[in-house]
Amino acid sequence: MDPEQACPIAPVVDIVFSRWTTPILWALHEFGRQRFVELERRLTTITPKVLTQRLRQLERDGLITRTYHAEMPPRVEYEISDLGRSLGPLFHHLATWSTEHLPHVDKARETYDSRVA
């Protein structure tokens, strides 16, 4: 069997850990429902085009909801969905792991780089 197909978490990694998914989900979880421009202000280095693409993909995957308000001017708001919120424990575990283990990763990199150089 193809190793990529055999790994049960590969599809989850593809969905959740693309470049901008976690910062967008974090912002929506931390600050609640937001308009596009609010997200854009919070994620200062993302381009409008990429933010639009990621929001559409997250909506398609069911991780966020998009609410269109038919008023003048039209208003669109984004909010993390229950499915998106269910990733909270996973992100919590990853945050704990990073606090405990990233110093070891940094040390291993330093050791490796000093040998290679």
pLDDT higher than threshold 80 for residue 2 = no
Residue 11: the pLDDT is 84
Residue 19: the pLDDT is 86
Quick: pLDDT tens for 102-112.
999 999 999 99
Q: What share of the chain is helix, strand, coil (3-state, %, to 5)?
A: 65, 10, 25
Quick: pLDDT tens for 50-106.
999 999 999 999 999 999 999 998 899 999 999 999 998 988 998 899 999 999 999
The CATH number for 3-83, chosen from 3.90.660.10, 1.10.510.10, 3.10.580.10, 1.10.10.10, is: 1.10.10.10
Domain parsing of the chain, residue ranges: 3-83, 87-117
Quick: pLDDT tens for 13-42.
888 888 899 999 999 999 999 999 999 999
User: How far is Cα 78 from Cα 26, in angstroms, rounded to an integer?
Assistant: 12
29 contacts 88 by C-beta, under 8 angstroms: yes
Residue 4: the pLDDT is 66
Q: What residue has token string 């989850």? A: 12
